[in-house]
Structure 1
Amino acid sequence: MSDISLTGRSLVCGSAQGELLYTDVGLSFWGGVDPFSGEIIDCHHPLRGQCIAGRILALPSGRGSCTGSSVLLELLTGDNAPAALIFADQEEILTLGVIIAETLFKSSIPVVCVGPELFTTLRQRRFARIENETISFFDTPPLGDWAAKVNNTDSTPAPVRPTLSRVSLSESDQAFLSGHHGKAAQEAMRIVLRMAELQGADQLIDISQAHIDGCIYTGPASLRFAEQLVEWGAQVSVPTTLNAISVDQCRWRAQGIDPAFGEPASALGNAYMAMGAQLSYTCAPYLLDSAPKAGEQIVWAESNAVVYANSVLAARTLKYPDYLDICIALTGRAPYIGAHRDQGRIATLRIDIKPLDTLDDAFWPLLGYHVGLLCGSEIPLLCGLEETAPSRDDLKAFGAAFATTSAAPMFHISKITPEAMSESRALGELPPLRQLTVEPADLLTSWYELDHAEARQVGLVSLGNPHFSLSECAALAKLCTGRHKHPDVAMAVTLGRAVYADASAAGYVTTLERFGAQLINDTCWCMLGEPVVPPTARTLMTNSGKYAHYAPGLVGRQVHFGNLAECVETACSGEASGRLPTWLTGVATRQGAH
């Protein structure tokens, strides 16, 4: 008999049993879980080194990258998937990965949401059995056939329960469901509608454009999914851009990429273009001429782009999972929930930032990283930064790091972001549910999380995560003019084709190439590995809070973090200075830090 049982909300039906692996820290599957082994590789996560294969994974929520759904799809079509997922809060990115696996590949696991209060009671439990919405927990495995099944998990997909739809459908929605627009659009609408039901939407809305994150190659399943849609005749119904793919499509062979990876990664990009998407290949679609206007209803995936679109441009999108993005692009219809609605954009958490003097460009990604850790899925309002005048590049760096450590779709900064010109508006005329203060000492702690490498010697300077803007190219070119990098240091910058063309016309590309930098199009640092990351380089330096977080797990390197000028100095000397920025030096001195 079970020691305890509880009832949650079944997000995906099914039965499973196995050892329980619990954490109270959200986890991004992209950059956090190896899709081919199930090992947790996020060096900042308390479960680092644990394997989720065959275990029931209990976590409060996902976080970070929209590509988590794709990583879970790879696990589900391989042999290293978890037996089931239990969440505290409703989670959509990972749940969508299960839904895609179930719909297209007939592989599934149960997914259950139990609520924050019940979730904390799971901490000391060792084994669990799930039957749809019911979870039974055991401190020791029962006798009988249980022991054999703990290590060889019995996870049985259950048929989707027929429900009376709460979603009001238009005639055009019904036409998609009936197959009038072809098999691909029909399946896409079924997936959109299933997610809308799960999210509690009562209607769908028209969207004006889409940005697809699912073009990142995570393994064979990601390509099988896209090619199946092409085979079914998929064509996007709204203007659609593509995120950075996993290789520089024109130069990956010259860069020494293994064809076993380069060919399917390039083919995946081609498959999405065959559906009518534009050849954009950038993780910063807000830098394109097609960037949305304030109030525009869009469907963007790619976590940093979502946060920037909502927060800085005041456009409206959810943090869409990979694969749901293309389903909505095929139908032009999205669930009317969350940040698409006024009430879904209200801050519930106020964070007061204690002032610091003489800030540089490393402040913003550091602050974004730290604030994201505090937020979970709550939308924050940051106060105390009213006199800092961040640039669009600063807000881009902040948003990318924030999106890495949080699950929230946006942020507000008082008097800076467009929907926070008044604090009362950002808070929806209500008091915040929570209020926190960030002290300089808190930021110092997060600095050492990002700048953690022991060796001073650096073999790679990594820039462009997210993709560089034209103004960032200009700033870097100014720092590099008349200089040349150290012969033992590689320096590479990733940027989209459109920005590259403008930077070339302005002369910045010539300056950077004379310095010794390599400029890479189409792909981004979260997808790059060896040999672009030199095999001999054991330590890298970056000005990206996002990449400083992901690099140890993705490429197995230690990281130095610093501002753009420090990155250039390191590229020239071959060694990181180890200096703190002036705005943190006093804090470290007071704490006796070194």
Structure 2
Amino acid sequence: MPSTPTCLQGRSLVEGAAEGTLLFADVGLSFWGGVDPATGEVIDRHHPLSGERMAGRVLAIPSGRGSCTGSSVLMELISNGHAPAALVLAEADEILALGVLVAEVIFQRSLPVLCIGHEAFNRLRGQGFARVEGNRLTLSGRRPNDQWRDTASLPQSSLPSTVRLNERDQALLDGAHGKAAQVAMQIVLRMADIQGATELLDITQAHIDGCIYTGPASLRFAEQLVQWGAKVCVPTTLNSISVDQRRWRELGVDPALGEPALGEPASALGDAYMAMGAQLSFTCAPYLLDTAPKAGEQIVWAESNAVVYANSVLGARTQKYPDFLDICIALCARAPLAGCHLDDQRKAGLIVEVPSLGPVDDSFYPLLGYHVGSLAGRRIPLIRGLENAAPTLDDLKAFGAAFATTSAAPLFHIAGVTPEAIDPEDVLDHDAVLPLEIVNAAGLLASWRELNSARHGHVDVVSLGNPHFSLSEFAALAQLCAGRGKHPDVVLAITCGRAVLEQARLAGHLDAIVAFGATLVTDTCWCMLGEPVIPPAATTLMTNSGKYAHYAPGLVGRGVHFASLGDCVEAACTATASGEPPLWLQPTARKGTARHV
């Protein structure tokens, strides 16, 4: 430990001054699903800070990762007093910075956010105390014995921006279109400055993730916009909300407004966004709707899996937009011209080679996505080795959701598969020498073990539909369930959007599934579901979702078995899981029954 303080310089994303004990990790953290918004405890059981509380400490992480709802969780923590004293990052993180900016506007509370780069960030390991003052970070072994006081930044919406504005932009900023649009444009411009954008672009549609209820602050934000007269300017869909709006009472969700109740405030949050003109869609898979964007279309989507799918599979163009910035842009129909909206920002920054593993089942793609995401970090990968594998859209959905859980990148390319990488040379910068990562069975097995946290073979709940089930997944499940019935002690529940549920009903897929004994839940998703849909006595879940297998231990405190859809149905019938890796991952038995990769 150095005897004299060490001073480092960085870039201030949000101004202010604060100090505290340093809480350091060299792994990115998703605040949604990784941090309890009511207490500030790190609940991501895969993270090195699991169990730590961040209130009053200087949190140092390379960046955020995972969910776009991280901004909402951070705003919640700032409003309830459980936020860190300051954030120190290796890389600029728009999701976390946006949460602080909105807290300034709505609650007049803030915290400093400082980006110092990777080289300086690596010097934080082992340090005991940190002080942030503007763009300066001071490290010492213990709290200095001097006179000093924290100062949070004040709202800076009036600060000059370097972004070029057209006549309508300026009118929005001047308040000619109302208070809500004015505040929205102020926030858009502050984020544009953080991103280094010098102009705005028109967008054609939006998908709002901020309708997820993280606590009273998320509802207050939305209702404040409604009171200010907010109306969206482009077609706008809504992500899953935190309850099945039509059936939450039937499902046993507590209706009261007091803690830990959910029903009424979560439903009211959905209503608030619809009052702004958003469509009643309530799905985390908007790419399954008829309104899905086309290749090259400039859009503003939040929800991490949806962003990754839109960019990678559809070829549309969106940043990984934080909660609250999504609605601000929808109110203006203007977004910063930065990131994946630009051609050169969609190039690969990493090559990932996937060897042939022989026949695989449908657990392969979510597991591979989870593994590749951990290798990629914030870099956009080009994945080679799947040119002849012919992954389905459901495979790509599962891959992308798991990839977005462990990666902060908004986009992946699969050579010969995804539209921009049909010719992989198109996504390569020919002047760059890219790092190479090679996937092998041992690495995939390590990721499989990370996702399988259950300590025994009993199964209480089978969780399907994270992201929301597609029509083709309903068809596959109906075949697996036909003529069978689940174990009476097992809950098998499927989450999906209302539109897809109706399509499945019309196609006749639901008959066998309902006869099997499944529970169908719309509007919400497994990342928001808890008791009593998950019975209080349940100890173990099983899922085919890499995303949910990662988040569930922290979100609902249960162990998880991760496996294929077929294995999930078998477990629903027997109330047991083998606990063994799939055959294609077992070195002595590579006999599968599915596709080759």
Normalised by the size of structure 1, how large is the TM-score? 0.96
> Per-residue deviation at 1:321?
0.1
Q: Is the 8 A contact 1:347 1:432 kept in 2?
A: no
- Partner SS for 2:587: helix
The 1-side partners of 2:214 and 2:501 are apart by 26
The one-letter code matched in structure 1 to 2:137 is: I
Distance 1:6 1:500, change over 3 A: same
Conservation of the 8 A alpha-carbon contact between 1:208 and 1:296: yes
In the alignment, which residue of structure 1 is the partner of 2:11? 9
Alignment of 1:455 onto 2:456:
yes
Is 1:500 aligned to residue 501 of structure 2? yes
Residue 586 of structure 2 aligns to a residue whose secondary structure is: helix
- In structure 2, relative to structure 1, the CA distance for the partners of 1:488 and 1:52 (3 Å cut) is same
SS at match of 2:278: coil
1:431, CA displacement in angstroms? Answer: 3.8
Q: Deviations over 1:296-326 (max 9, x none)?
A: 0000000000000000000000000000000
Contact 2:28 2:61 survives alignment (8 Å): yes
CA, structure 1 residues 588+124, in 2 after alignment: closer, same or farther (shift >3 Å)?
Answer: farther
Change (3 A) 1:460 1:433: same
| Residue 163 (structure 1) shift | 5.1
Q: What corresponds to 2:217 in structure 1? A: 221
Cα 1:138/1:471, change in 2 over 3 Å: same
Aligned position for 2:268: 267
Which deviations, in whole Å up to 9, do the C-alpha atoms of 1:143-169 show, x marking residues without a partner?
Answer: 3567xx8xxxx4533463965422111
Partner in structure 2 of residue 396 of structure 1: 397
* 1:248 matched to 2:244: yes
**2:132 corresponding residue in structure 1:** 130
> Which residue in 2 is equivalent to 1:312?
313
In structure 2, the CA distance between the partners of 1:266 and 1:26, relative to structure 1 (3 Å rule), is: same
SS in 2 for 1:282: coil
Q: Which residue of 2 aligns with 1:410?
A: 411
2:103 to 97, 101, 109: 101
Displacement after TM superposition at 1:422 (Å): 1.6
Provide closer, same or farther for how the CA distance between residues 238 and 2 of structure 1 changes in structure 2, counting only shifts above 3 A.
farther
Structure 1 unaligned residues grouped into runs of 5+: 590-594
Aligned pairs for 1:52-201 within 5 A: 52-143=54-145, 154-158=150-154, 160=156, 164-201=160-197
Give the letter for the 1:75 counterpart. L
CA distance in 2, matches of 1:163, 1:82: 25
Q: Are the counterparts in 2 of residues 13 and 160 from structure 1 also a CA contact under 8 Å? A: no
The offset of 1:585, in angstroms, is 1.4
1:307-456 maps to which residues of 2 (within 5 A)? 307-456=308-457
Contact 2:128 2:140 in 1 (8 A): yes
* Residues in 1 aligned to 2:588 and 2:238: alpha-carbon distance in whole angstroms: 43
Q: Which moved more, 1:120-129 or 1:474-483?
A: 120-129
Partner of 1:592: none
Q: Distance in 1 between matches of 2:44 and 2:446?
A: 18
Conserved 8 A contact 1:129-1:135: yes
What amino acid does structure 2 have at the position aligned with 1:507? Answer: G
Distance 1:171 1:145 in 2: 49
Alignment check: 8 A CA contact 1:349 1:432 kept:
no
State the SS of the aligned residue for 1:499: helix
Change (3 A) 1:243 1:25: same
User: What is the deviation of 1:578?
Assistant: 2.3
SS of the residue aligned with 1:583? helix
Query: Are 2:483 and 1:482 aligned?
Result: yes
2: CA distance, partners of 1:578 / 1:559: 10
Q: Which moved more, 1:265-274 or 1:435-444?
A: 435-444
Instruction: For residue 587 of structure 1, report the CA deviation from its aligned partner.
Output: 6.6
1:506-562 residue CA offsets vs partner (Å, 9 max, x unmatched): 121222111000000000000001000111110000000000000000000000000
CA distance in 1, matches of 2:153, 2:161: 22
SS at match of 1:205: strand
Distance 1:179 1:248, change over 3 A: same
Per the alignment, in what secondary structure is the counterpart of residue 23 of structure 2?
strand
Distance 1:408 1:588, change over 3 A: farther
1:18·1:56 contact (CA, 8 Å) conserved in 2? yes
Q: Indicate the SS of the match to 1:50.
A: coil
Runs of 4+ aligned residues of structure 1 deviating over 4 Å after TM superposition are 161-164
1:116-153 C-alpha deviation (Å, 9 max, x unpaired): 1111011121101111111111112223567xx8xxxx
Tell whether the 8 Å contact from 2:21 to 2:130 is kept in structure 1 after alignment. yes
C-alpha distance in structure 2 between counterparts of 1:213 and 1:425, whole Å: 31
Tell me the amino acid that sits aligned with residue 229 of structure 1.
Answer: L
Whether 1:277 and 2:256 are equivalent positions in the alignment is no
Q: Is the Cα–Cα contact under 8 Å of residues 95 and 322 in structure 2 kept in the other structure?
A: yes
Q: Secondary structure at the match of 1:586?
A: coil
Partner of 1:44: 46
**Letter of the aligned partner of 1:58 in structure 2?**
A
Q: Call closer, same or farther: CA 1:455–1:184 in 2, change over 3 Å.
A: same
Q: What is the CA–CA distance in structure 1 between the aligned matches of 2:155 and 2:520, rounded to whole Å?
A: 49
Q: Which residue of 2 aligns with 1:212?
A: 208
TM-score scaled by structure 2? 0.96
User: 2:22 is matched with which residue?
Assistant: 20
The residue matched to 2:171 in structure 1 has which SS?
Answer: helix
Offset from partner CA, 1:192-224 (integer Å, 9 cap, x none): 011001100011000000000000000000000
The CA deviation at 1:579 is 3.3
Secondary structure at the residue paired with 1:252?
Answer: coil
Cα distance between partner residues in 2 of 1:398 and 1:215: 24
Q: Please identify, of 277-286 and 165-174, the stretch whose mean Cα deviation from structure 2 is larger.
A: 165-174
Measured after TM superposition, the shift of residue 588 of structure 1 is 8.5
CA distances 1:339-366 after superposition (whole Å, capped 9, x unpaired): 0010010001001111111111100000
C-alpha change, 1:286 and 1:576, in structure 2 (3 Å) is: same
Amino acid at match of 1:168: R
Q: CA deviation at 1:60?
A: 0.3
2:126 maps to a residue whose letter is Q
User: Aligned in 2, Cα 1:292/1:161: closer, same or farther, shift over 3 Å?
Assistant: closer
Kept in 1, the 8 Å contact 2:130–2:138? The answer is yes
Give distance in 1, aligned partners of 2:237 and 2:207: 5
SS of 2:360's equivalent in the other structure is: coil
**Which residue in the other structure is 1:584 paired with?**
585
- Structure 2: unaligned runs, 5 residues or longer: 257-261, 591-597
Residues 264 and 163 (structure 1), Cα distance of their counterparts in 2 relative to 1, 3 Å cut: closer
What do the CA deviations read for 1:264-301 (whole angstroms, capped 9, x no partner)? 00000000000000000000000000000000000000
Stretch moving more, 159-168 or 73-82: 159-168
Residue 6 of structure 1: CA displacement? 1.2
| Secondary structure, counterpart of 2:80 in structure 1 | coil
SS in 2 for 1:137: strand
- The answer (yes or no) to whether the contact 1:350–1:432 under 8 Å persists in 2 is no
- How many residues align? The count is 583
- Contact residue 83 and residue 155 of structure 1 kept, 8 A: no
Letter in 1 for 2:341: H
Measured at CA, do residues 29 and 94 of structure 1 come closer, stay the same or move farther in structure 2, by a change above 3 Å?
A: same
**Counterpart Cα distance in 2 of 1:157 and 1:338:** 27
